[in-house]
């Protein structure tokens, strides 16, 4: 990680002896089968948090007709996710002092209240829009724990040879929820220019009330699933197993204040955090308004949803595969990340040159547009669990939840800045005309 000579502290063993070992007593470890239930509950909550966060972007044309949302409104609805990370220090403190159960219960409660707030069927449209914004903000408050506690859960419950895989599953399910919203929204909620009948055969233009009914149906379904998961976590979700699964899980960690000071003074960690926050933050904000970005290229709401879906799902599948590979062959995390970021750079360059086809004279076809977008999402999203494992190895013995809380906050800060720019510094007409000038006449 650096070219300088190692210090005396860096030459110390990574896993120091625990207090039990220091007194001559061996540390007993055990892996419990219930770890899969704990991982499943946590991952499903992440799935729903991602679905609710990305609900409005894929159906922005329908939302504009049903509720009068502008493109700036859609950007603000996506922006509430990063805004929910503002009190991240409180969630990290709660996780460190009270354990994962207390922090996850609070996050699930915010998600439940946010889902209920969105579903209140008021006829006053301005008030209804305020309730929807409030519900999105409450759902965003569930993000700090769900997006950063995956490595903490994997270290607490899983053996070392399964830790990277468990981290990948716990960390990527929120991205998978965002991918699901790309499909569920456009498939269930008709676009304004579509036609529908009771038999599913095109016949008459869709009314605004029909679009609102479909949106309401999806929000009710999401609320029901969140309520079931909240009840399941309330009934059974222990903070930790009776016996630790490894020496690392049983070892003493730094205090909350010492951890924050250690992280902010570690130059290597800060460089890694910057390498993580910029690409993942930009791709998250970009995906949240993907339908708006691709509309000038004559890409339909459904097609934009499928592009977002496959880019995110591909990243999740590839990320789990890479994490499993990292579990079997240790010491290659940096090389894997370099290859992933190189692939993302090439793919994003390809997409940019395609959009500048009037200048570059490169072919601009549907296949090229779809492939370049999907590859960018695959390479960036699949790097998340590998980054998390490298963070943990770099700053040990800082607790995993605090470490990943800091980096996810930085990533969401980048996302928030991007969406803030789209919302308050680019009017709709300026943005659309700018994209049209860059884009060649689309053959789609």
Residue 154 domain-assigned? yes
Q: SS3 sequence, 92-113?
A: HHHHHHHCHHHHHHHHHHHHHH
CA dist 146 and 157 (Å) reads 16
287 pLDDT exceeds 50?
Answer: yes
* Residue-wise pLDDT tens digits, 352-371: 787 776 666 667 677 777 78
* Residue-wise pLDDT tens digits, 165-220: 888 888 888 888 888 888 888 888 887 765 444 444 344 457 778 888 889 999 99
Q: Which of 8-17, 212-221, 412-421 has the lowest mean pLDDT?
A: 8-17
DSSP class of residue 421 equals H
Can you give the C-alpha Rg of the chain in angstroms? Answer: 23
Domain encompassing residue 339: 33-242+255-438
CA dist 287 and 131 (Å) reads 24
Query: In sequence order, what are the beta bridge partners of 296?
Result: none
CA dist 77 and 57 (Å) reads 8
Q: Which residues contact 213 (CB under 8 A, 6 or more apart)?
A: none
Average pLDDT of span 112-128: 88
Average pLDDT of span 126-143: 90
292 pLDDT exceeds 60?
Answer: yes
C-alpha distance from residue 285 to each of 258, 293, 406 (Å): 32, 11, 18
Domain CATH for 105 = 1.20.1250.20
* 144-182 burial code (b ≥16 CB/10 A, e <16): bbbbbbbbbbbbbbbbbebbbbbbbbbbbbbbbbbbbbb
The pair of three-digit structure tokens given for residue 242, joined into one six-digit string: 């009776």
Residue 259 domain-assigned? yes
| The predicted structure's pLDDT at residue 297 | 63
Q: What's the gap between Cα 296 and its chain centre? A: 26
| The predicted structure's pLDDT at residue 16 | 42
Q: How many domains does the chain have?
A: 1
| The predicted structure's pLDDT at residue 117 | 93
| The predicted structure's pLDDT at residue 19 | 41
Residue 192 domain-assigned? yes
Q: What's the gap between Cα 154 and its chain centre? A: 18
246 pLDDT exceeds 60?
Answer: yes
Q: Which percentage of the chain shows pLDDT scores above 70?
A: 76
* Residue-wise pLDDT tens digits, 306-330: 777 787 787 778 777 777 776 666 6
Residue 301 banded pLDDT, cuts 50, 70, 90: low
Residue 380 domain-assigned? yes
């Amino acid at each position: 990680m650096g070219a300088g000579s190692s210090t005396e502290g860096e030459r110390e063993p990574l896993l120091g002896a625990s207090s039990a070992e220091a007194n001559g007593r061996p540390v007993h470890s055990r892996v419990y089968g219930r770890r899969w239930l704990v991982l499943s509950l946590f991952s499903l909550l992440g799935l729903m948090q991602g679905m609710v966060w990305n609900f409005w972007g894929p159906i922005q044309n329908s939302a504009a007709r049903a509720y009068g949302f502008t493109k700036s409104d859609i950007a603000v609805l996506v922006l509430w996710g990063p805004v929910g990370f503002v009190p991240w220090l409180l969630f990290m403190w709660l996780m460190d002092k009270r354990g994962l159960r207390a922090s996850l219960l609070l996050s699930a409660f915010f998600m439940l209240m946010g889902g209920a707030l969105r579903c209140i069927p008021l006829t006053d449209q301005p008030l209804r829009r305020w309730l929807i914004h409030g519900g999105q903000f409450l759902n965003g408050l569930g993000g700090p724990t769900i997006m950063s506690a995956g490595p903490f859960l994997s270290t607490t419950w899983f053996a070392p040879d399964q830790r990277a895989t468990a981290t990948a599953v716990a960390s990527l399910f929120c991205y998978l929820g965002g991918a699901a919203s790309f499909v569920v929204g456009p498939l269930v909620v008709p676009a304004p220019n579509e036609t529908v009948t009771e038999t599913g055969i095109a016949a008459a233009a869709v009314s605004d009330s029909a679009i609102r009914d479909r949106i309401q149906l999806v929000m009710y379904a999401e609320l029901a699933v969140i309520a079931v998961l909240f009840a399941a976590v309330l009934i059974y979700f222990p903070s930790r197993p009776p016996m630790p699964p490894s020496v690392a899980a049983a070892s003493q960690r730094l205090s909350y204040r010492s951890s924050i000071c250690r992280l902010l003074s570690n130059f290597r960690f800060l460089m890694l955090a910057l390498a993580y926050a910029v690409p993942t933050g930009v791709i998250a904000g970009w995906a949240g308004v993907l339908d708006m970005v691709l509309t000038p290229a004559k890409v339909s709401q459904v097609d934009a949803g499928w592009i977002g879906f496959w880019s995110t799902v591909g990243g999740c599948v590839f990320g789990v595969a890479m994490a499993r590979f990292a579990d079997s062959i240790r010491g290659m995390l940096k090389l894997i990340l370099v290859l992933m970021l190189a692939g993302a750079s090439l793919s994003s360059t390809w997409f940019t040159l395609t959009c500048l086809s009037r200048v570059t004279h490169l072919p601009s076809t549907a296949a090229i547009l779809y492939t370049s977008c999907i590859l960018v999402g695959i390479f960036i999203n699949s790097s998340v669990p590998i980054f998390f494992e490298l963070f943990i190895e770099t700053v040990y013995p800082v607790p995993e939840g605090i470490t990943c809380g800091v980096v996810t906050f930085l990533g969401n800060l980048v996302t928030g800045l991007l969406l803030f720019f789209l919302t308050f510094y680019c009017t709709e007409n300026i943005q659309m005309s700018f994209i049209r000038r860059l884009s060649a006449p689309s053959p789609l």
